[in-house]
Structure 1
């Protein structure tokens, strides 16, 4: 295998060496996910899966990604899509016709499952079990068909992501383990958000999984003997587990972060990794201080703010969800604006589900804040990449006072744009951020010990005080930009995890 050339040759050589050293060797990886950039994204999961797949391909693995072909994609299909594979798939007592559309992007073969009437939109339009069965059964049938047609090699690893694909490890062990296509395949499950489990499925639907009753105890919902849990099945059957940060892994072993499955995570502790997500440096290029100053002025003009570099511009980019502490941030920003008589500016970019009471109430609070301070506050109901880039390039301080945060890629994107952050000490935020120390000049932000208004207010006050000190501000923004949050290190760790999963699977055969 040829080694890569270019400026990042040293890092990539280490990954290539890892490929040659693992036993058994890992060559073919299939990611199964409900969403992936650039074709379909509902949130951070889509960012991570698309970028991870591309990073694995750059590292030398043959990488496929299986996801849904959703109705919102069909009106404007990606130009790289080519002719598909047709087959049937049994889901519960019924058989469906399925088409598998294929397209190559960033070295990754994306395989889109089209099952008319069953796969409509991710997470919407059907029950969680129907959606999960369509993705997981469809993935196995698609892979099997493409292997038989010579369109791909037998997979070494099936890498499932979150509850919609948590049945992949279950089916591999309980249903497809003797299939020649999957006899040498191991599974990995990454839990991106342990709170979301796919709901509690009534026990009378268990036969639709097509596995014997002996597997019921491993899927049974804790404390609910007549219901079962998709995520629990994946946790118990995957050859290796992964959380998206080291601290979040530790939290998931406790009631705080396990959300009822902490005993299962604890039982699998020896097979449980914590790999921090990277971000795409191609998608999020670095920025110079001069370009940042110009971007700030442009955004201030666009939003009708006072154009002064001396006034701190704070920002927040997140979906409107209780987890993210949005209402908390709005309340504190309102008080600080009153106290400073408009001495700061604030931009919020994001939106919530229209049926979520928290999102509706918080959106109303943000609207009222913007009406009260039209020259200081702007609420933008969007989550587009273009608008995110404009905000990150312009702001001085980023807020992310989450109740819990498995990884937290938006604050890492902020660091890439020379923006120090106010964050809660939890999950991936605890891994990626340290409080700035004015004596040593170390640190890249300000940390809350708990997501409370008083904690957030004090942290923002520390940030605003430092903003006025030119020497310290230059140091903390340089610290923010200096850290390596690319995919180079995580992809190396994933390759190691895949090798360990393959070894575990081989020992259990």
Structure 2
């Protein structure tokens, strides 16, 4: 890699990118993966919408306008501005149209089908104007689903576009972008002959469009790539994923090991590493103090950092929360989401003030403190395309307790007392009793097998889920395509 004849040109298209805008794991991937691909010798650039209300002014002030032009979104004549800035060495383009993207929220607008159809077309048409001819356009999630359909059916007859290939990454199949059939002509300006590849449940489906037209499709773990070809995990689209199974790949996400390093992270209370774990205990005592819990280094702290939505397994926790609180442990939650789960945790914190701290908020710095300070991290997800929480927790020596699904299954190996192998604890069935049994199993090792526990903690810190390996797999996929 790195020699000019091997150099690939890649345009990474995403509706959100760290550090500019983040609602979920997609933003992390779009922020960190291109940096690693660039490090490995390729010309990679990123493009996203310019959300003027969500992107911090310090970043907006750094942008320079490099071109503007007009395009047609079906019958509408629209302005497109292209602004540019650098993100850790990666050129990042922002598509500027105040009417489309100067909004109070990202994805809940009544005309979101128009916003993202416009975004896809603007991205395609910007390329010759910025003099960038990518080998690969890497599209992500439903917001970019129409791009490969537009490229293949409306642009590839022109020489500039004829050799450009597309890859479509599914980060979460549940969110599909489904709209009335009238938008095929009215918004996408695509031929009705294409409807079989675009329509699902009598609606235009942006996710299905991306899956149908991309040259290759991938998702963010190998297990999830298999799971989504079945009705249980397929969210209604398992038939189209089975049809594309020859071109469907699973590549697990990574995390940035420089940014998330317990030895240097200035967001946590005290630094530590695998060879000196004293700082880990200091973190725990400080977290207990900040959370208003009794300070006791011997009481295990279990944490959850998550969106409070059904996918994440909160129905299992609700079923056994009182039983769980009978154990000798403390529990720290950080997250926001469905009000029923928020209320459940608030009520439990009132019933068990010395055992449970519920932080109903989103706080990046507190998240880092919790990862570094806890003994165990609970992720009993119903489904989990990749999951990043278990990767952060491993990095900070916090042992994950997970359900064996999607990326959790690919990254957490349940501790085996016979071989001594494993880096966490896991259970198979989506069952509250199985989860409780597995938590109790982890607690018994914590309390009774100090040597085993210390080995687990060191192994967790030393495991490698950095972006380096994932980027290698993406580069292989780009070259294959």
Return the match for 1:271 from 244, 247, 266: 247
State the shift of 1:179 in Å.
Answer: 3.0
Structure 1 partner of 2:89 = 107
What do the CA deviations read for 1:148-186 (whole angstroms, capped 9, x no partner)?
A: xxxxx3111100001110111111111111233322210
Please list, as runs of the form range in 1=range in 2, the aligned pairs for 1:17-416 lying within 5 A after superposition. 25-73=6-54, 76-78=57-59, 79-119=61-101, 120=103, 121-147=105-131, 153-199=132-178, 201-207=179-185, 208-221=187-200, 224=201, 226-286=202-262, 287-288=272-273, 289-337=277-325, 339-340=326-327, 343-352=328-337, 359-416=338-395
- TM-score, normalised to structure 2, is 0.93
Deviation at 1:26, TM superposition (A): 4.7
1:74–1:55 CA distance, 2 compared to 1 (3 A): closer
Asked whether the equivalents of residues 7 and 41 of structure 2 are also in contact (C-alpha less than 8 Å), the reply is no
- What SS class does the counterpart of residue 209 from structure 1 fall into? coil
Change (3 A) 1:74 1:463: closer
- The CA distance in 2 between the partners of 1:430 and 1:204, in whole Å, is 41
- Superposed displacement of residue 486, structure 1: 0.5
In 2, Cα distance between equivalents of 1:34 and 1:374: 40
SS at match of 2:10: strand
Alignment partners' CA distance in 2, 1:377 and 1:178: 61
Q: 1:322 to 1:75 in 2, by over 3 A?
A: same
Contact persistence 2:293–2:357 (CA under 8 A): no
Whether contact under 8 Å (1:418, 1:478) holds in the other structure is yes
Residue range with higher mean Cα deviation, 168-177 or 118-127: 118-127
Q: Secondary structure at the match of 1:140?
A: helix
CA distance in structure 1 between the partners assigned to 2:25 and 2:363 by the alignment:
12
Aligned residues: 464
Give RMSD over aligned pairs. 1.6
Aligned ranges 1:484-499 → 2 under 5 Å = 484-499=464-479
Kindly indicate whether the alpha-carbon contact (under 8 Å) linking 1:92 and 1:209 is maintained by their aligned counterparts in 2.
yes
Q: Closer, same or farther in 2 for the Cα pair 1:75/1:428, shift >3 Å?
A: closer
Retained in 1: the 8 A contact 2:21–2:55?
Answer: no
CA contact (8 A) 2:183 2:204 kept: no
Structure 2 residues without counterparts, runs of 5 or longer: 263-271
Instruction: Please say which of residues 371-380 and 410-419 is displaced more in the overlay.
Output: 371-380
Distance in 1, matches of 2:218 and 2:343, equals 37
Q: Is the 8 A contact 1:396 1:419 kept in 2?
A: yes
**2:470, 2:90 → 1: CA distance?**
18
Q: Answer whether contact 2:65 2:81 (CA < 8 A) is retained.
A: no
Give the Cα–Cα distance (whole angstroms) in 1 for the partners of residues 324 and 55 of structure 2: 46
Distance 1:499 1:168 in 2: 20
1:175-205 Cα offsets, whole Å, 9 max, x none, are 1112333222100000011121112x21112
* CA–CA distance in structure 2, aligned partners of residues 492 and 103 of structure 1: 26
CA distance, structure 2, for counterparts of residue 80 and residue 180 of structure 1:
34
User: C-alpha displacement at 1:236, in angstroms?
Assistant: 1.1
Post-superposition Cα deviations, 1:4-32, rounded to whole Å, max 9, x if no partner, equal xxxxxxxxxxx447x85xxxx45210011
Question: Which residue does the alignment assign to 1:3?
Answer: none
Instruction: Supply the distance in 2 between the matched residues of 1:416 and 1:458 (Cα, whole angstroms).
Output: 25
Q: Separation in 2 of the partners of 1:16 and 1:124? A: 41
Contact 1:370-1:379 at 8 Å conserved across structures:
yes
Unaligned 5+ runs, structure 1: 1-14, 148-152, 353-358, 502-509
Matches of 2:320 and 2:391, distance apart in 1: 23
TM-score (normalizing by structure 1): 0.88
* Equivalent residues of 1:218, 1:232 under 8 A apart: yes
Which contiguous aligned blocks of 4+ residues in structure 1 show a shift greater than 6 angstroms? none
Shift, 1:471, TM fit? 0.9
